[in-house]
Chains A and B, each alone.
Chain A
């Protein structure tokens, strides 16, 4: 493709880069045991939670930062970060009408109105700004069928039994460096419990927003689907444009009991940094689901267009017999963005099945890696996996890499891996041009066609958003 053309389509503008001007409350900068105690105290947590945090913190102190990833960044000075930043709220708003107008305005600008009557029918939202949850909609309606949807801080106070039983049960604090850090300093996130036999009547979603400068966001999400229940959950993320890099190190745990199904969708659009690679979010996240019961199912769908660095592997542990894990991913990198993402499918139970569809798109000077593990344990008789891993390159200054790991300990397993690498051809663009479609729209159309299989997995409204996002992320001014 001609250089001029590549330049046109890789110049992108980030539309969510504004800062909300509100009073913030911070923990003192830096990380030590006092920081952990400060956060716990600030949130008025029971003793068991402080204990959990301190154990994690002490474990983390013994750990070394991992070095196997294919992303490059200068060492993060963890003492130069605020671990707690919260919009100052005089008293907790009793209803959605009492939310600070500035905060309400922020979410309106992001297209997430917090007034229930204005919301898209059938979607409940938990809005998290920096370290705290600012609003949760449709709580009462969900409570009628026994569903708990609230911030994790609230759950720690109100549902200690559930928290004690499940928090850290899928991602223990010993799991990895950032999971340990998160367990020590997490400030908020969402909590969902779907009782036995209940199909959640609406989509649940959390909208994460980083606002404060020099702040790390460490959110924690826990979703429990009890026997025979179903839930579809979505998350969206944006952040202001800043020259510094900001750390987002979340942990998401999904727990599916017998015959339960959890569908988790992400549209990730953190600030990616500018065209020279300055600034942007470091998105270092641990996401894992446990199919604990027989016939359970967990499905991850992610559309990743933001962040300076994306480093995460939403995974499934298939423990229950006949359980199913799915991973559908589109990761788009442009300019100087880096992504090292993929999944792990751990087959433990009999006749477990997994499916991986990964679509990488690289443009500009970016670097995009798929890394995935398919593991079939000795007792997982009849396990099956299908992996399809495609890379699309735009221009000749970007990189695409694939690192598949396959470990099979059971002779009956069937594991398939397919991979392709392709480029957007001048011929395809010219073909669409010749029918009256501009180059910018042509690239958007080709990229969306390529990503279609994954986009189709998203709920309708979000599929439309994701399509726009893919086109915008590659968009520039056609000169």
Chain B
């Protein structure tokens, strides 16, 4: 069943067109990998889907659960179930990770018309989820991402994903800057969370991550367009031959 349908999506930043007409359909239960050289528009696509204001959508549509999300504010998209794991997670000094996560979860619950979660119940939940990404509980009482190493920040993204349980998670180069152990932990987190009701879009430069998170489809993005799609074998081919053979 179709979860996300991107149709001829074009987007600008400061008057320069970055996305030149993207078409992509993601069904429930699927994992899509998006690969491509630097500057091809991968992160722009992620930001546009999440609703970042700097980007102006000039054409096309994005249907998520049959609703055009381009009209919605970023926080509404989040509450509908779109999650973006940031390439560069932001530090929020003085705001504890715990408080941040609980506020976010309660916003989602309010949106769904559910009761908000009590601090005690939340503590149990978040400890469980932290264990999933092998995160020391002491990070929960620290300020959001402040003084975290690159790997800790990425794990914190996966923790947030585990708490919010999105229907569509977009991982924007979550593997960049991770050592092999951290990579494995992040991948395990994703694999534990995947089920027949949700979907993942994994943006990456390297085939390496796809050994751990096995995609159903691989797309190559170049110059703001998807120029080739295939199965996981395409990623292996790219690893071997680079991008030139497709681009030229």
Binding site for B on A (CB under 8 A): 2, 5, 425-428, 430-439, 441, 445-446, 448-453
Asked if B37 is at the interface (CB within 8 A of a chain A CB), the reply is: no
Do A449 and B93 touch across chains, with their CB atoms under 8 A apart? Answer: yes
Do A427 and B164 touch across chains, with their CB atoms under 8 A apart? Answer: no
**6 closest cross-chain pairs (CB), A and B:** A449-B94, A449-B95, A452-B94, A433-B74, A435-B104, A436-B107
Known contacts A435-B104, A435-B107, A436-B104; can you find 9 more A-B pairs with CB under 8 A?
A427-B90, A431-B92, A432-B104, A434-B75, A434-B77, A439-B75, A446-B95, A449-B93, A449-B143
Do A430 and B74 touch across chains, with their CB atoms under 8 A apart? Answer: yes
Nearest B residue to A440, CB-CB: B75
Encode B145-165 as 1/0 by CB contact (under 8 A) with A: 000000000000000100010
Nearest B residue to A390, CB-CB: B93
Q: With A and B bound together, what is the CA distance between A450 and B73 in angstroms? A: 25
Residues of A close to B164: CB separation below 8 A: 435-436
Do B50 and A436 touch across chains, with their CB atoms under 8 A apart? Answer: no
Residues of B close to A441: CB separation below 8 A: 103, 107
Residues of A close to B118: CB separation below 8 A: none
**Closest CB-CB distance, A3 to chain B, in whole Å?**
11
Q: Tell me which of B51, B73, B78, B93 contacts A435 (CB under 8 A).
A: B78
22 residue pairs of the A-B complex, CB under 8 angstroms, read A2-B53, A428-B90, A430-B52, A431-B86, A431-B92, A432-B92, A433-B78, A434-B74, A434-B77, A434-B83, A435-B75, A435-B78, A435-B104, A436-B108, A436-B164, A441-B107, A445-B95, A445-B100, A446-B92, A446-B95, A448-B94, A449-B93
Residues of A close to B100: CB separation below 8 A: 432, 435, 445
Residues of B close to A431: CB separation below 8 A: 86, 89-90, 92
Q: Tell me which of A2, A5, A436, A453 contacts B75 (CB under 8 A).
A: A436
Do A449 and B78 touch across chains, with their CB atoms under 8 A apart? Answer: no
**Closest CB-CB distance, B114 to chain A, in whole Å?**
13
Binding site for A on B (CB under 8 A): 50-54, 73-75, 77-79, 83-84, 86, 89-90, 92-95, 100, 103-104, 107-108, 111, 143, 160, 164
Residues of A close to B104: CB separation below 8 A: 432, 435-437
| Chain A interface mostly | helix
Q: With A and B bound together, what is the CA distance between A448 and B78 in angstroms? A: 23
Do A436 and B93 touch across chains, with their CB atoms under 8 A apart? Answer: no
Residues of A close to B143: CB separation below 8 A: 449
**Closest CB-CB distance, A455 to chain B, in whole Å?**
9
Do A425 and B107 touch across chains, with their CB atoms under 8 A apart? Answer: no
Q: Tell me which of A430, A435, A451 contacts B53 (CB under 8 A).
A: A430
Q: Tell me which of A425, A427, A430, A448 contacts B95 (CB under 8 A).
A: A448
Residue among A430, A431, A435 with max Cβ neighbours from chain B (10 Å): A435
Contacts known (A436-B104, A437-B103); A450 close to B74, Cβ less than 8 A: no
Residues of B close to A430: CB separation below 8 A: 50, 52-53, 74
Q: With A and B bound together, what is the CA distance between A433 and B78 in angstroms? A: 8
Q: With A and B bound together, what is the CA distance between A379 and B204 in angstroms? A: 65
Residue among A425, A434, A448, A449 with max Cβ neighbours from chain B (10 Å): A434
